[in-house]
Chains A and B, each alone.
Chain A
C-alpha cells in the first residue's frame, strides 16, 4: 500500500481556506455584519444542525431535495442547515416576540446544500444576512432591497445588478383561472421546466391528465352524495380499528368526497392557464420593457390594468431611494423558493458575469407554518464565498 492509499482528501466543494483567503473572508463577514448593525440589525446565532421538519415545513419537497439530512444516534431525522431563515423564525417563535414590534436580526455562518435537486455534490458556503420580522411599514420591501444592494457596494462589488420577481403577482395570476389548488401548485412547480424548455405545454397537460388534474373529457368526475356518503361515513366511523384512516377523520374524507364533483379542472381552462403562465415566465429584462410586456399579456388575458400596481409602486420607491434603475431588471419567471415566498423576491448578481451573490424576499406565512402566529417577515442573505470571488 503506497502513502497515497492512506491519504484522506477533502470532499469537492468543501473548501479549505488558507491564511490569506481566510483573512479576506473574515474581513468580508465583519464588514457585512458591521454594515447590518448600522442598519439596525442585531446579530444572533443558531445551531448548524436542526430538526429536518423545520426545513420540510418551510419549503417542502422542493427545499428538502437540496438539504443534507441524516438520522442522529436516536434515529431522529436531522439536517445540516441549508439557510438561516427557518432557524431565525424558529428562534423568533420560541422567544414569543410580540407582533407589534419589529425584530431585525442578522447572522453569519456556514450553510450546506446539494448543488441542485437530487445531486450528490454537497457544498458548504458562508452566508451573512438579515431578517425583518413583524414589519409594519409599507415601504419595508424597498428598504430591505436597498440595504441589500448598498451592502454589496460596501463589500467592494463593482456595479452589482439586482433582479426582482413577485410571487404575489404570480399567485394572483393563477387565482384568476378556474383551476383547483393542486392544479395551480402543479403548474407553479413546473414553471422552471417550462422556461428552460425541459417541458413543453403539451407534455405538461399530458402529465396533468396522468395525475388526474384534468382529463380528456374536460371535467372531474362526479362524486357520491347524499345517503350513499352518509352510509360510508357510518361505516368508516365504526370500523376504525380494522380500517385505520391515519390522521384523517371520516368527516374530512366524506366532506372532500362530496366536494370533489364541484372541483372542475376543465382541460381548456387548465391549458389556458399553462399557456399564459408560459408566456408570463418568459418575460424578463429591463424593468420598463418587462412591465410593458407583462401589462400587454395581462390585458390579453382580460385580468385588469391595475394588476401590477404594487410592483410598479415598489419600483418607483426604489428609484426614489436612489437605486440605479439601469442596474435593475424584472423577471416574472423567478422561481426561487416559489412555494414559500409570498411577495417580492430578488436576486443580487455581479455586474460582469451574473454570478449570484445572494438574494431574498418576503415570506409572510412562514411563522404561522412553523407553528407561530401570523407575522410579516422578509430577509436576504449574501453568499460570502461568491462575493470573495467576484471582488478579486
Chain B
C-alpha cells in the first residue's frame, strides 16, 4: 500500500482535505485523534496525518512514500543528497510568502540594501544582526547571496512577531499572508525582502516508488486525479 502523508495541523490541514475532496479523493478519518485514514472507494492507499513540518523528513527517510507539504518547508528541510522530488509544484492552495519584517520605526530601512548596511554597522560595534526565523537555511542562503554576511540566526519555534519587542532578535523572517499580524506587532516588510513564495506541493521519494511497480501505479492514480482537477480549473 502507498503511504500518503497529509498535514494534520494548521491551515494546510483543512485546505488539503478540501482540495483532495475536489480531486475526487475524499479522506475518511475514523476519529479526530486517529493518525491514519483512507480514501473513500480507493484501495491501495493509506493516509497518514502528520505535522506539516515533518512530512518532508518522513518522505526522505521512507516512512512515507509521498506527501503534501508547503514548498517553503520542503525547501528548508530537504536533503539534496536524497532522491525526494516535487511531483506537482503548485496545488493552488496554502499560498504565502516568507518575508523579512523589521520594526516599523526603523525609518531608514526600506529595502534589503539598507538592512545590509545596518548589518555592517552592527558588526562595527562588535555585534551581529539577530534574525528570528523558523527557516534558518533558506534565510542564510538568501542573505549570503545578497552580500549580507554578518548576521546570526535565532532559531525559533514559537511566535516570531514578538521577538524584536522582547529583545531576543532585531528582526524576523516569517510567513506572511495578509500582513495584518505584522502590522499589529509594529513591524513592516521591506523591498527585496521576499525569500520565497510558497504554496502546497506534492512531494515523493522517487527511489521507493520507482523501484516498486505497485507503488508506482498507486502514485500515478493519485497524481492523475490531482492533475485532472488542476487542469479543469484552468
Query: Interface of A with B (CB < 8 Å)?
Result: 52-53, 56-57, 59-62, 64-65, 71, 77, 117-121, 180-190, 193, 207, 210-213, 223-224, 232, 236, 242-248, 252-254, 256-257, 260, 265, 339, 369, 371
Contact = CB atoms under 8 A, between A and B. Distances in A.
Contacts of A71: 155
Interface of B: 79-81, 103-108, 110-114, 116-118, 120-123, 126-128, 137, 140-141, 143-153, 155, 164-165, 167, 170-171, 186, 190-192
A182 B150 CA distance: 11
Given A232-B107, A257-B108, A60 B117 contact: no
B179 to A, nearest CB: 18
B150 A212 contact: no
Q: What 9 A-B pairs come out closest when comparing CB atoms?
A: A212-B111, A186-B147, A182-B116, A60-B149, A257-B108, A185-B147, A211-B112, A211-B192, A189-B147
Contact of B105 (A118, A224, A243, A339): A243
Given A244-B164, A246-B167, 11 more contacts: A56-B152, A181-B117, A182-B120, A186-B113, A186-B147, A187-B147, A189-B144, A190-B147, A212-B192, A247-B127, A248-B170
Contacts, number: 151
A236 B108 CA distance: 13
B186 A243 contact: yes
Chain B interface, DSSP helix/strand/loop, else mixed: mixed
B113 A212 contact: yes
A243 B120 CA distance: 23
B141 A260 contact: no
With a 10 A CB-CB cut-off, give which of B105, B112, B140, B150 has the most chain A CB atoms: B105
A188 B120 CA distance: 14
A265 B147 CA distance: 15
A120 B79 CA distance: 6
Given A117-B144, A119-B81, A245-B103, A52 B149 contact: no
Nearest to A221: B110
A247 B104 CA distance: 14
Given A60-B151, A61-B140, A256-B108, A211 B103 contact: no
A53 B144 CA distance: 17
A247 B170 contact: yes
Contact of B149 (A77, A189, A257, A265): A189
B8 to A, nearest CB: 25
Contacts of A193: 145
